[in-house]
Structure 1
Amino acid sequence: MPRPSQRDRIVDAYVDHVVAEGPETVTLDAIAARAGVSKGGLLYHFGSREALLAGMLERVRALTEADIAAARAAAAEGTETVAHYYLRTSADDPARDSAFFRAMVAVLKVAGTEEAAAATARASMAAWQEALTEETGDELTADLVAALGDGIYLRAIAGERSTPLTRDWDATLRRLLGC
């Protein structure tokens, strides 16, 4: 696996800092130190805190697209539906502490004070809604799957890993989708 670029290490450090310390503590010096780069190295890639935020939001958009592509690929292979993927990863990603999970937690922490972060979170949810609607053929059903997944995600973040919903994804989806 190739070594992450300096730019990627800086975005990783920004995400990690926001998750661990909160967005109000972000400084260029703190992010440079966490990334193991000089402040000049950070400024070469990101000239301001706003540019760091933009870099993180760009990553979230890319991770969202990749996650939806993985769900669609699994559906095309017949291994699981998009809805199954969405629900399963809602429980799995927080447990595995995935890059997508960490980036979304950072975006949600920043969304309270930065409209660009809130807009990116909404766009990610809308992209999933579109993928789920495409699969289910019904906007309300897609929204129900998304809301259920969001609740499972919240529970998983809080450490609740196993519930009747998560023990048998097929049964959960049959009950939800009425099939």
Structure 2
Amino acid sequence: MPRPSQRDAIVRAYVDHVVAHGPDAVTLEGVATRAGVSKGGLLYHFGSKEALLTGFLDWVRELTEADIATARAAAAAGEEPVARYYLRTSADDPQRDTAMFRSMVALLTLAGAEEAAAVAAREVMASWRDVLVEEAGDTLTGDLVAALGDGIYLRAIAGEPSTELARDWDAVLARLGPRGG
């Protein structure tokens, strides 16, 4: 795996800083130190705290697009439907502490303080909901799967794994009806 670029390292450090200390504690100096770069190095990539937030939000959108592409590819290959992927990763990502999970925790943390983060969070959720609705063939089923996955994710953030649900994703999807998975 290639080493992340300095820009990516800074964004990851921003994520870690927000998750560890909250949005009010974010300083350019703190992020630079966590990223292992000088403040000047950080400012080369992100000229202000606002630019760093924008860079993070762009990164979350890119991660989301890549995750959706992975889900679609798995479905196209007959490995698992998008709905099953969404539910499974909603439970698995927190346990593996993935970049996507940490970014979503940071995004949801920031959403309470930064309107741009709240907008991005809604966009991410809408992107997934649209894909799930498309696969399900109806809005209600797609929205139910999205809400279930979101709930699984929120439980995981709070430290409450959805163990019973994770035992059989196919059975969970079957409860939603014949087009749920």
TM-score, normalized by the shorter chain, greater than 0.5? yes
What CA distance in whole angstroms lies between the structure 2 residues aligned with 1:178 and 1:160? 29
What CA distance in whole angstroms lies between the structure 2 residues aligned with 1:7 and 1:19? 19
One-letter amino acid of the structure 2 residue matched with residue 131 of structure 1: V
TM-score by length of 1: 0.97
1:143 CA displacement: 0.4
Q: 1:87-141: per-residue Cα shift (whole Å, max 9, x none)?
A: 0000001111110111111111111111110111000011101100110010111
1:178 CA displacement: 4.5
What 5-or-longer segments of structure 2 have no aligned partner?
Answer: none
Matched, 1:46 2:46: yes
The alignment of Structure 1 onto Structure 2 pairs a total of residues equal to: 179
1:37 CA displacement: 0.5
Identify the residue that residue 81 of structure 1 maps to in structure 2: 81
What CA distance in whole angstroms lies between the structure 2 residues aligned with 1:131 and 1:122? 14
TM-score by length of 2: 0.96
Residue pairs, 1:56-71, within 5 angstroms? 56-71=56-71
Residue pairs, 1:96-107, within 5 angstroms? 96-107=96-107
1:162 CA displacement: 4.4
What CA distance in whole angstroms lies between the structure 2 residues aligned with 1:65 and 1:177? 27
Q: 1:3-45: per-residue Cα shift (whole Å, max 9, x none)?
A: 1111111101000000000010011111111111011101100
Q: 1:55-94: per-residue Cα shift (whole Å, max 9, x none)?
A: 1000000000000000000000001000000000000011
What 5-or-longer segments of structure 1 have no aligned partner?
Answer: none
1:151 CA displacement: 1.1
What CA RMSD, in Å, does the superposition of the two structures yield over aligned residues?
A: 1.1
Matched, 1:17 2:26: no
What CA distance in whole angstroms lies between the structure 1 residues aligned with 2:133 and 2:162? 27
One-letter amino acid of the structure 2 residue matched with residue 121 of structure 1: A
One-letter amino acid of the structure 1 residue matched with residue 77 of structure 2: E
One-letter amino acid of the structure 2 residue matched with residue 107 of structure 1: L
Identify the residue that residue 175 of structure 2 maps to in structure 1: 175
Residue pairs, 1:23-34, within 5 angstroms? 23-34=23-34
Q: Is contact 2:105-2:157 (8 Å) kept?
A: no
